[in-house]
Structure 1
């Protein structure tokens, strides 16, 4: 069973820092250099100075040491203060997507760490060594979870969040609007009876990690380091837990965006050439001239994972193709489960890019960039060496659960949960309870 706890979070003192919007930031993995500079300029107390400290050539201290020094000074100066009562923190995100206003609601809690495969917490994506090494250095230096992990739990009737919702009507929230226009709201809930009922309701439910796999594994690595060093950690020591925002899988505002591929190639690719490699195993079901929107609409209406749309930049043409023989995936990926083999991203990478298209077409391995909106596809399609765009249908919650239940992880960049969680609403100490 997954174990959650209320905790005494560290939060900004609004009287010291001003508007909350000026001190929060997105998670580190979606911040590019221009946004980093924008966030630095927003406030001397912006969480970017902890989450993704900028490089300072000539500084004798590493960026992790500078993040830790900044955090210490904020704690000493009262910029960050620890809540007096153990709390769960209701978190609401209101946003617009394709002209529709949506709202996603969950809550921050401290969740007990457990190795994957040994409990009730399940990953769904592969991780890379580089980001884990980066986050581990930050954990060592600061002793804090700076940004939260995004977890999902089954709750068809939305019973868990209903236990906390009454408390959102008792006081106005802390509120911030981010650079994408998403409105973020936070309500601390310290009522012991409500916390007890919420902890009990979460007990039998598994947790699936939606975003933050690297941070979760880093939490485990940090805990293992402390234990190897001989530190005495009682069962409730904060390092045995990690900061997580938990959302019910049936929440109406839970959105998974597609992750489209932009593929570089050393020379132009022709539609006829592409079709020659694909048609032995794919049926070309539709062609369009220029009309990426029509190609994307076709994929959405089809609703399956068996259809991909390719945009050939040299001729400004799009084709939609459907896999003729799904059993072909069993031959090229026998080590994987049927759930994994049925994913569109698996079909694209394992079958199309690794087996059907010749290596000299793109280079080996193909250089992919990843975007989520159609306007991003069109802005990059045909620019520089981007010769081919691939529209990929998004994986669903059912796909995520099926792959996790099979003990597997999806290929990288399979899911994109929108919007991202903010960093800076609440921090979790790994040293002080």
Structure 2
């Protein structure tokens, strides 16, 4: 049962900050040191100073900056509570898509109400908890999926979207993000009603969601009380229909390094025990085979020392029984499960500890970029994957299991800084 609520969002005052491109960012976990520096240089009001500051006491600085920006009307609070319709126009492989969703507050659920498909790590959760303690605010969105095969909720936004957007901004990849504020009380009531029958699935933001639950528990233990919906019992979220054709999941490819005595002939010989192996003389032919066989368990492969391109097509279902951990058949049959547990672990000795420590693999979004990096000489081989389907994400989450790391890439990311939720707490 998804309970969603309109809220009074804080937004950038464009009269003060100028171009929104200079102040919004990618989610905090996508910001490396170089990108952090770039964001710092773009504007003294860039949201990076709140979500991932460079100062020694960055949590205190974030709180101080937030309060100053509100006081000086760098950030202003919308007078009317509402949802915020959010669209993202983007391209994948030359095809254009529009992903639709809406921003609101979602009730935190520790049990079955919200389903996750990724495991979380203690370090990021501790970091985000310190930030929310200091700022008492939600900056980054949790990307939530729900199922609506008739597209009834998105259809409620059609009339509003015919009007000029409240604002629009382009990200680093030139994807266009548009936001409208929805304050119509009748529409809000209909959205809330239709969402109540939905289960929610976390697409991105697993650490932020667990952090919100941890913070909620802390506040309750201290005897603090929620002051309305804009408080610790609810969290800033963007809700997207998983049945919308505008939703795409991209694959994350793997680049192999640091394998001692890696020999292509012996590796291919081992792989032939469980896979049929097809050889191609160009990457385009390899890509074409992968694209035409998305329903099969297939992987592209290229070794740095070889001119040939390969596709491994999985054949030996019996070997799936060797995957330890009591996982479901659906989990074992995931492309990434087969890659990690059979190709990497069984053939190359890259086990779960090595994967967790990131000692032998790097991850990259685009297959052309993966092969370019391979040619640059740092890596020994590249594994090219097909995307995990949204249906597979749902099935794994419904069974309470967690996918292998980097199984999904919901593209484009939700920008941070479009709308902020400041918490109201009675202490």
Specify which of 260, 277, 287 is matched with residue 279 of structure 2. 287
| Range moving further from structure 2, 217-226 or 315-324 | 315-324
| Range moving further from structure 2, 189-198 or 362-371 | 362-371
Offset of residue 268 of structure 1: 6.2
1:164 aligned onto 2:157? yes
C-alpha contact 2:2 2:113 (8 A) present in aligned 1 = yes
Partner residue, 2:25: 25
Tell me how far apart the structure 1 counterparts of residues 264 and 239 of structure 2 sit (CA, whole Å).
Answer: 45
Partner residue, 2:83: 88
Describe how 1:253-264 pairs up with structure 2 within 5 A.
253-264=246-257
- Structure 2 vs 1, CA of residues 327 and 431 (structure 1 numbering), >3 Å: closer, same or farther? farther
Offset of residue 420 of structure 1: 0.6
Offset of residue 296 of structure 1: 2.5
Which string of whole-angstrom CA distances, capped at 9 and with x for unpartnered residues, describes residues 18-60 of structure 1? 1222211111111222222222122111111112212x4xxxx
Tell me how far apart the structure 1 counterparts of residues 149 and 294 of structure 2 sit (CA, whole Å).
Answer: 22
Partner residue, 1:105: 100
TM-score by length of structure 1 reads 0.92
Offset of residue 182 of structure 1: 0.8
Q: Which runs of 5+ in 2 are unaligned?
A: none
C-alpha contact 1:268 1:387 (8 A) present in aligned 2 = no
SS in 1 for 2:313: strand
Offset of residue 394 of structure 1: 1.0
1:338 aligned onto 2:333? no
1:303 aligned onto 2:294? yes
Tell me how far apart the structure 1 counterparts of residues 166 and 244 of structure 2 sit (CA, whole Å).
Answer: 20
Q: Which runs of 5+ in 1 are unaligned?
A: none
Describe how 1:26-425 pairs up with structure 2 within 5 A.
26-54=26-54, 56=55, 61-115=56-110, 118-233=111-226, 236=229, 238-267=231-260, 269-284=262-277, 286-289=278-281, 291-333=282-324, 335-358=326-349, 367-425=360-418
C-alpha contact 2:259 2:360 (8 A) present in aligned 1 = no
Offset of residue 235 of structure 1: 7.7
Offset of residue 384 of structure 1: 4.8
TM-score by length of structure 2 reads 0.94
SS in 2 for 1:377: helix
C-alpha contact 1:305 1:393 (8 A) present in aligned 2 = no
Tell me how far apart the structure 1 counterparts of residues 325 and 211 of structure 2 sit (CA, whole Å).
Answer: 30
SS in 1 for 2:312: strand
C-alpha contact 1:26 1:422 (8 A) present in aligned 2 = yes
C-alpha contact 1:93 1:105 (8 A) present in aligned 2 = yes
Partner residue, 2:9: 9
Aligned length: 423
C-alpha contact 1:124 1:409 (8 A) present in aligned 2 = yes
SS in 2 for 1:91: strand
C-alpha contact 1:266 1:385 (8 A) present in aligned 2 = no
CA RMSD of aligned residues (A): 2.1
- Structure 2 vs 1, CA of residues 397 and 385 (structure 1 numbering), >3 Å: closer, same or farther? same
SS in 2 for 1:53: coil
C-alpha contact 2:148 2:243 (8 A) present in aligned 1 = yes
